[in-house]
Every structure is written in C-alpha cells, then in structure tokens.
C-alpha cells in the first residue's frame, strides 16, 4: 500500500480536532452541535402543542439527555432562559435554528437514485428543516428520466451546471461504494463543500470539505457486539482456549500460526468475512 501519513482533515471521519477548533472559535463544542438538532426536534413538538415555556428538566427528558448536559449546551449559545421559569419555546426554536444555519435555504443534490436515494428524496424531515432537493442525479440511463418524489432524475452530466446555478453546497452520496469516491471528486470539483456519504467507503476530500457518513452496517455491528455480551458472556462458538488465554499466550499462538503459514480458523472466519459482495449496494442503488 505504502500510504503516507494521512492529512488529518482529508479522511472520511471528519477530523474531530479541526471541527472542534473551528467550533470553538465561537465556543460551541462539536458534541453540543450534534445535540442541537435533538433539542430542536423536541422544541418543535412543544411548539406545535403551543406550549409556551419549558424547563431544562422537561426538555432534557423529551430529548433523551440529562438536564445538566442540556443547560451546559445552552450556555454555549447564550443566556436564553429565565431562572425560576425556564425557556421560551418559540424563542429557543428560533435561536437554535439560527445557530444551526437552518434559517437559510440549503439546496441539496442526491447522487445515486436507488431505493435509498428514493427514500431520502421522499424524506419529509429535509424540507421542514430548510433543506431543499435541488436535483436527483444518476449515471444509469435506465434511471435517468424517471421520477422520484415528484422530481425528474437527471444525468450526472448535468451535475456541474446544477451545482453552479443553484448554489448547491451540500451533496448526498447514495451510490454503490465503487462509485462513491469518483462521485465525491466531481461534487467537490463542482463546488460542493459538505458531503453526506451513505456508501460504505472512506472518502478522501481536500481540506475545507466536510464529510459525514451514515453506515447502516456499522450500526448493526455495534449492536451485535453488545448483544453478544448480554448473552451471558459464555464463550461464543468461535472461541478457542487460546483465544481466551492471557495476552502473551495468545501472542505466542498467533506467531505459531503465522510461522506455520496457517490462517487461523479460516473456516470460521470465512463466512462472515466473505459471505457476499462486500458492502455492495448495487442491489439497492443502480450504478
């Protein structure tokens, strides 16, 4: 592979340090930013029920966090509450919306219109938050020309023009993993500076471009890890005595296996590691 030290901000996982630093410029930690949408959602529900004010305790419960954290989070935004009373719901909705940049319109392009692209195009939560689907794009001639969520699917060739004329700064990638980096490069070249990536691939982008990823498979794997522990912590089917042994013994065993040219438990590793097309989304999303 011979890959040099990666630039911290050029990998798919946005460099937490960079994000923190930039947020800290105005004093809002990244962890707080990630919770603001939760608060906003809970506040919007209260607003629709015409609830005028809410305490940190009530709002925290509705958002699923504890109240100390919520108050700390809000303290980064300013002093928007009233001691002894609570927070004005409408005012807080507005302030958080503004802080998140939701008081402006964000045109978005979605690239790769398979089932997932369809689902996103139809997602009501986008429009109600200031996100507007500027265009649906696909490279497959069989898909181009069809409609999804009332919008025509346009060809990738139009990407550059659409991004330029509609001032698109956010792109959503729902292509198969093999196409994702290439699509990403074109988006960035066209002027997109924020990317939401659903393809299970690490994307490389230049400094100044933010990438967030949503990975369906990873979430399930994390659940499986905890599920495994709940099951009584008895050794799983794949466990061997050596695997449970103290570090030095395991290490020695590993070396023995390597020395013997042997793949450790290959028959057991194979089913999960190579059971199918690795993370292929082509069944979901046309190329």
Q: Is 174 in contact with 137 (CB distance < 8 Å)? A: no
User: Rounded to the nearest 10 degrees, what angle do helices 67-77 and 56-63 cross at?
Assistant: 100
3-class SS of residue 192: coil
* Residue with smaller CB distance to DNA, 14 or 286: 14
What single string gives the DSSP state of each residue in 156-168?
GGGHHHHHHHHT-
Contacts of its own copies in 147-176 (CB under 8 A): 149, 169-170
**Residues 6 or more apart in contact with residue 72 via CB below 8 angstroms:** 32
Contacts of DNA in 13-42 (CB under 7 A): 15-17, 20-21, 24, 29-32
Among 100, 151, 162, 287, binds its own copies (CB under 8 A): 100
Q: Which among 40-48, 54-62, 168-176, 228-236 is the span making contact with DNA, rule CB under 7 A?
A: 54-62
Does residue number 31 form part of the binding site for its own copies (CB under 8 A)? no
Does the annotation flag 84 for ligand binding? no
CA distances from 72 to 27, 28, 79 (A): 12, 11, 11
Among 9, 11, 69, 253, binds DNA (CB under 7 A): 69
Does residue number 166 form part of the binding site for DNA (CB under 7 A)? no
3-class SS of residue 182: helix
Residue 72: contacted member of its own copies, DNA, none (CB under 5 to 8 Å, by partner type): DNA
Does residue number 52 form part of the binding site for DNA (CB under 7 A)? no
Q: What angle do CA 279, 146, 128 make, to 5 degrees?
A: 75
Binding site for DNA (CB under 7 A): 8, 15-17, 20-21, 24, 29-32, 54-57, 65-69, 71-72, 74-75, 79-87, 247, 251, 255
């Amino acid at each position: 592979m011979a890959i040099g030290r990666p630039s911290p901000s050029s990998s798919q996982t946005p460099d937490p340090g960079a994000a923190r630093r930039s947020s800290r410029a105005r004093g809002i930690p990244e962890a707080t930013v990630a919770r603001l949408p939760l608060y906003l959602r809970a506040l919007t529900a209260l607003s629709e029920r015409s609830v005028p004010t809410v305490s940190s305790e009530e709002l925290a419960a509705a958002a699923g966090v504890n109240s100390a954290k919520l108050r700390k989070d809000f303290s980064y935004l300013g002093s928007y509450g009233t001691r002894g009373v609570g927070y004005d719901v409408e005012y807080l909705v507005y302030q958080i919306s503004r802080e998140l940049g939701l008081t402006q319109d964000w045109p978005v392009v979605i690239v790769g219109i398979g089932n997932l692209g369809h689902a996103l195009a139809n997602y009501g939560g986008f429009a109600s938050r200031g996100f507007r689907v500027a265009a649906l794009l696909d490279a497959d001639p069989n898909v181009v020309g069809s409609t999804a969520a009332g919008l025509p699917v346009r060809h990738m060739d139009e990407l550059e023009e659409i991004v330029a004329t509609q001032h698109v700064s956010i792109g959503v990638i729902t292509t198969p993993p093999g196409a994702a980096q290439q699509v990403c490069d074109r988006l960035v070249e066209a002027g997109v500076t924020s990317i939401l990536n659903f393809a299970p691939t690490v994307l490389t982008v230049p400094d100044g471009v933010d990438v967030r990823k949503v990975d369906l498979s990873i979430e399930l794997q994390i659940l499986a890890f905890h599920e495994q522990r709940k099951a009584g912590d008895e050794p799983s089917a794949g466990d061997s005595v050596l695997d449970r042994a103290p570090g030095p013994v395991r290490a020695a065993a590993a070396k023995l296996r390597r020395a013997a040219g042997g793949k450790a438990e290959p028959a057991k590793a194979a089913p999960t590691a190579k059971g199918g097309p690795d993370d292929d989304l082509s069944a979901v999303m046309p190329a």
